[in-house]
Structure formats: structure tokens, C-alpha cells
């Protein structure tokens, strides 16, 4: 992608040569590595990055959580170049956002053309075609029968706020059921539903009242048995709602909605079994409760289907969409069955929501995902997971490998017997990967997430897994003092 400083085959600097050849887990040839692999020129952060990080420390809110000092300058596809000319493979995609890769030419063209035509109008007061076009496209791939209605916002949290408010408005009920481990955003309503990390909630109470959190079917952390026991555990998590909650503290007729991530994202890339999702649907149907799926991270093709909920054959009432739907332009969507979105003019809106440029990016993104992303996420994602599964037998600290498509979680533990979380070791692996030119992020207490672009090439997948496996081995040696 970027002009190479060295011809392929002659690895650039002393550092990149050492790191590349040290890796005993290499499955690709030198030529493939040279063409598709990262290229690190020297110690990180480089001199230009150091200056920018200093400026950031001076001016920018300390509430942001940076795992390592990547100072990005430009990106193409899976590759990101930093301000010192180092090139990385991006398996974090701006937190699962650049679904078509960085700056996909079709997305860039759509943005440029729309920016030259009309940048803003405000869909809350005026009409423009893009809002309708995107609704038609999303309606055609919705995970529930239509007709549908759509609300546009700018962020995942805004899609969740819309779903919350609409659920109360439509049902006339106040309460919500959400799950431990869930992340739904940081605005006050969404934060009230979030049950992920104490720091996200510390000193922000009181929250929106009426939210009850219950257990998510995180089998690796709740059940030590085999598949049958795990299935029973998952069903038990759903049935607790009806058998305990509704019979003790929470009258079901006062519950507006259950909100669930079909795969918990920030919570650790934890997949909810189909039986659990189906049981939630049954409970909602029995009690007139709305089922909201938060597909902000798991949606837009990431799992190899448009929506993760489709793996479970469950039709939700509302879907929250953001992140990958517009390849990096700020756009979110709350999609519902038509009869649910029955609020009156003035009930809810946002000045920027459904911005024409963001919508143009989303339409182009959907073209790319439909044409090349969905199938690739399913097939290459499955192959990646298959390889990572082999680490369970090879590496003592790999406790669990799970996911769907290109949403893969690798849980790091002290050892398989204790399953003890080792967040610091996970963080060390993430840091080692950065030093070797691979961008990944953690999630949950002790999991590494892989969320590459859906347009990922097999060579890039192989190299990234080679690097990650090496980092796991290095961290293991460090921990055991070898
Ligand atoms: C499942 C889920 N919902 C909501 C959000 C909030 O999205 P945003 O950060 O765009 O507000 C996130 C962000 O990570 C998420 O993963």
C-alpha cells in the first residue's frame, strides 16, 4: 500500500528483521511477509509520535484508554501507517469500525461526491434522498419481517438512547432488563444499561432508574462442564428472568424491553447460544416485552451475516446499529418494526443524525460488504478461528477461543485448570503485538479481540496470527521467567 522504503524481501531495519525472523510461528514465506506484513522501522513510539503523545497528554481528556502509543497518519485496507512511517496490520479497525478497511476507494469516492453536493441539511427538519435510500437498503437485509422504520443518530450510544426512549414510549412501561458484561454506551441512558466495568460507572450515579442486570450466558466463566452443561447454563440464565425475577422483584407487565448483545463486545467477545436468544424471544412474547438487540459491534456483516442475531433464528423488535455500517463516518441507526415507532413529531431527534455524507458512506459500505465482506468474514473468519483453536492445546495460557466470523475472542488465563484471569498478561500480549506491527485490542477482563476489516486478505490473516501466537509464547516465557 504505502511506498516501500526497502524492496520486498530485504526486510527494512535491524529491528524489523530481528522481529520477523525471531518468530518461530511463521507460516508464510519471506516474500509473502515482505509484501503483506507490517514494517517497523525502530523502537516505538518513534520521535514524531512521542511529540504528539506529549501534546495529547497536555490537552486531551484523560478519560480515554490508550493501550499503546499508536499515532496514526493514514490507512489503506488493513494497513495503517503511523507518523514515523511504521506500517501496521490493523486488527482493531478503530474498535470494529473500518469494516471495509481503511479508506476503501468506493467509500472515499461516495464521501467526496456527497461532500461536493450537500454536507448537511438536518433530517429532523428537512428531507433528503439518502435517508430514504439507506432505509430501503437496511430494510432489505433486516433480521425481522417488515415493514420497518428507521431513526438516525451519530453514535452507538445514540442508537441505544433511541431504543430506550422508544421502548418506554411505545409500551408505556418503565423498566429494562440488561446483562452483566454488556456495553451499550456512555451517555446516561446507555450507561445505565451498561454492566461492563466499574470505572465506566464510578462517580456517575444516579443512573436512569428501572434497569435490572442479570447474568449473560458466558459459559467459560459460569460453567465448567461440557457442551450439554453449557447449554443448560445458558438456558438457565434466560429462565432466571421468568422464574425468579418476574416472581419476586420485577412485575413483567412493567418491563418495556430486554436489551441484549447477541455477542458481547466490550464484555469479552462472548457468544450467546441460540437457545438463550430463542428463550429471550419466548419470554418477551409471553409478556409483551420488546426484544432489542444491540448490534453496534456485532452487526454490519462482522459475523458473516448482516446481523449476529441471524445466527440464532430470532427476530428482534429493534436493532441498534453503528460502528461498521459507515466505515468510519459517524452514523447510527435504530431499526424497528414499523408499528413500534409510533411516537409523535418532536418526541426525539438529533441535528446531525443521518448526515448526508455519513449516509453516502454507509450506502457504499453496504455495497462493499454485500459484494465481498459477508462471504469473506464467514469463510476467512472461520479459518482464523480454526487456527486459534489449535492454540488451546499448544499454549497453556490460551483458555478459550470463541466468536463468529471476524469477531474472534481469545481468552488468556493463568492456566487452564484455574481459568484465573490475567488481565496484565493480556495487556502485555497486546503491547508485544504492537511492537511487532500488529494492532489488536483487549476486551472483557482478560480477552484479546480480533476485529479485522471484512475485506481482510488470507495472507494478512496468516501473518497476524503468526505474530499473535509468537506474542503469546513470549508473554508465557516472561511470566514463567524462562
Ligand atoms: C455493543 C455496543 N453498543 C454500544 C456502543 C456505544 O457506541 P459508541 O461508542 O459509538 O457510542 C458500543 C461501543 O463500543 C458497543 O460495542
Q: Compute mean pLDDT per 10 residues along the chain, 482 residues long, and list them.
A: 36 41 86 97 96 97 96 98 98 98 98 98 96 98 98 98 98 98 98 96 98 98 93 97 98 98 98 98 98 98 98 98 98 98 97 98 98 98 98 98 98 97 98 98 98 98 98 96 76
264 within ligand 1 shell (Cβ under 6 A): no
97 within ligand 1 shell (Cβ under 6 A): no
302 within ligand 1 shell (Cβ under 6 A): no
Return the pLDDT at 417: 95
163 within ligand 1 shell (Cβ under 6 A): no
Ligand 1 centroid to Cα of residue 157, in Å, is 6
Counting Cα atoms < 13 Å in the Cβ hemisphere of 257 gives 27
168 within ligand 1 shell (Cβ under 6 A): no
Find out whether 90 and 324 touch, Cβ atoms under 8 Å: no
Ligand 1 centroid to Cα of residue 330, in Å, is 12
Ligand 1 centroid to Cα of residue 297, in Å, is 7
Distance CA(424)–CA(327), nearest Å, equals: 31
Return the pLDDT at 481: 86
Ligand 1 centroid to Cα of residue 294, in Å, is 9
364 within ligand 1 shell (Cβ under 6 A): no
Distance CA(56)–CA(380), nearest Å, equals: 37
- Closest atom of ligand 1 relative to the 155 alpha carbon: 10
Ligand 1 centroid to Cα of residue 185, in Å, is 5
Query: What are the angstrom distances between the C-alpha of 111 and each of 108, 115, 156, 191, 309?
Result: 5, 6, 21, 32, 30
Query: What are the angstrom distances between the C-alpha of 294 and each of 235, 269, 350?
Result: 20, 13, 20
306 within ligand 1 shell (Cβ under 6 A): no
Architecture of domain 106-368: 3-Layer(aba) Sandwich (3.40)
Ligand 1 centroid to Cα of residue 420, in Å, is 27
Return the pLDDT at 121: 96
- Closest atom of ligand 1 relative to the 294 alpha carbon: 1
Ligand 1 centroid to Cα of residue 68, in Å, is 21
Return the pLDDT at 23: 81
Ligand 1 centroid to Cα of residue 231, in Å, is 28
CA-derived radius of gyration, the chain: 22
156 within ligand 1 shell (Cβ under 6 A): yes
Return the pLDDT at 22: 63
Pocket test of ligand 1: the residue of 98, 156, 190, 261 to mutate, having most ligand atoms within 8 Å of its CB, is 156
Beta bridge partners of 402: 409
Question: Cell numbers at residue 152, please?
Answer: 438516525
295 within ligand 1 shell (Cβ under 6 A): no
Q: Backbone dihedral region of 260: left (phi > 0), alpha (psi from -120 to 50 degrees) or beta?
A: beta
322 within ligand 1 shell (Cβ under 6 A): yes
161 within ligand 1 shell (Cβ under 6 A): no
Pocket test of ligand 1: the residue of 183, 267, 358, 451 to mutate, having most ligand atoms within 8 Å of its CB, is 183
261 within ligand 1 shell (Cβ under 6 A): yes
Amino acid at each position: 500500500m504505502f511506498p516501500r522504503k526497502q524492496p520486498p524481501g530485504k526486510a527494512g531495519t535491524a529491528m524489523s528483521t530481528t522481529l520477523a525472523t525471531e518468530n518461530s510461528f511463521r507460516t508464510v514465506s519471506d516474500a509473502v511477509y515482505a509484501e503483506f506484513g507490517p514494517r517497523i522501522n525502530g523502537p516505538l513510539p518513534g520521535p514524531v509520535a512521542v511529540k504528539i503523545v506529549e501534546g495529547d497528554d497536555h490537552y486531551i481528556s484523560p478519560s480515554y484508554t490508550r493501550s499503546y502509543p499508536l499515532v496514526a497518519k493514514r490507512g489503506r485496507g488493513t494497513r495503517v501507517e503511523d507518523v514515523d512511517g511504521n506500517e501496521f496490520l490493523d486488527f482493531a479497525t478503530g474498535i470494529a469500525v473500518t469494516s471495509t478497511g481503511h479508506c476503501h476507494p468506493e467509500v472515499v469516492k461516495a464521501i467526496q461526491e456527497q461532500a461536493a453536493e450537500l454536507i448537511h441539511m438536518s433530517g429532523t427538519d428537512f428531507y433528503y434522498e439518502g435517508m430514504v435510500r439507506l432505509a430501503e437498503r437496511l430494510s432489505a437485509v433486516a433480521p425481522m419481517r417488515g415493514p420497518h422504520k428507521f431513526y438516525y443518530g451519530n453514535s452507538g450510544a445514540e442508537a441505544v438512547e433511541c431504543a430506550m426512549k422508544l421502548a418506554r414510549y411505545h409500551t408505556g412501561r418503565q423498566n429494562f432488563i440488561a446483562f452483566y458484561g454488556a456495553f451499550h454506551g456512555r451517555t446516561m441512558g446507555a450507561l445505565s444499561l451498561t454492566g461492563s466495568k466499574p470505572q465506566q460507572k464510578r462517580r456517575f450515579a444516579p443512573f436512569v432508574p428501572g434497569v435490572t442486570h442479570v447474568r449473560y450466558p458466558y459459559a467459560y466463566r459460569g460453567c465448567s462442564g461440557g457442551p450439554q452443561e453449557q447449554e443448560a447454563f445458558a438456558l438457565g440464565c434466560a429462565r432466571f428472568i421468568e422464574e425468579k425475577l418476574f416472581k419476586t422483584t420485577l412485575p413483567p407487565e412493567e418491563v418495556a424491553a430486554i436489551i441484549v448483545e447477541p455477542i458481547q463486545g466490550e464484555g469479552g467477545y462472548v457468544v450467546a447460544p441460540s437457545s438463550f436468544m430463542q428463550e429471550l424471544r419466548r419470554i418477551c412474547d409471553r409478556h409483551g416485552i420488546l426484544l432489542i438487540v444491540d448490534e453496534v459491534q456485532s452487526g454490519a456483516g462482522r459475523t458473516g451475516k448482516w446481523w449476529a442475531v441471524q445466527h440464532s433464528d430470532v427476530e428482534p423488535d429493534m436493532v441498534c446499529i453503528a460502528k461498521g455500517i459507515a466505515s468510519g463516518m459517524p452514523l447510527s441507526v435504530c431499526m424497528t418494526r414499523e408499528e413500534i415507532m409510533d411516537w409523535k413529531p418532536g418526541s426525539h431527534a438529533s441535528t446531525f443524525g443521518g448526515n448526508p455524507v455519513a449516509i453516502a458512506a454507509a450506502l457504499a459500505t453496504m455495497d462493499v460488504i454485500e459484494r465481498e465482506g459477508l462471504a469473506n468474514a464467514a469463510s476467512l473468519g472461520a479459518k482464523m478461528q480454526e487456527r486459534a483453536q489449535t492454540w488451546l492445546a499448544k499454549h497453556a495460557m490460551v483458555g478459550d477461543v470463541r466468536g463468529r466470523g471476524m469477531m474472534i475472542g481469545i481468552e488468556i488465563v493463568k492456566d487452564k485448570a484455574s481459568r484465573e484471569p490475567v488481565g496484565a498478561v493480556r495487556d502485555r500480549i497486546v503491547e508485544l503485538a504492537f511492537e511487532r506491527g500488529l494492532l489488536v485490542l483487549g476486551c472483557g477482563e482478560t480477552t484479546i479481540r480480533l476485529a479485522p476489516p471484512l475485506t481482510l486478505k488470507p495472507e494478512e490473516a496468516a501473518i497476524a496470527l503468526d505474530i499473535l501466537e509468537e506474542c503469546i509464547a513470549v508473554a508465557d516465557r516472561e511470566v514463567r521467567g524462562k
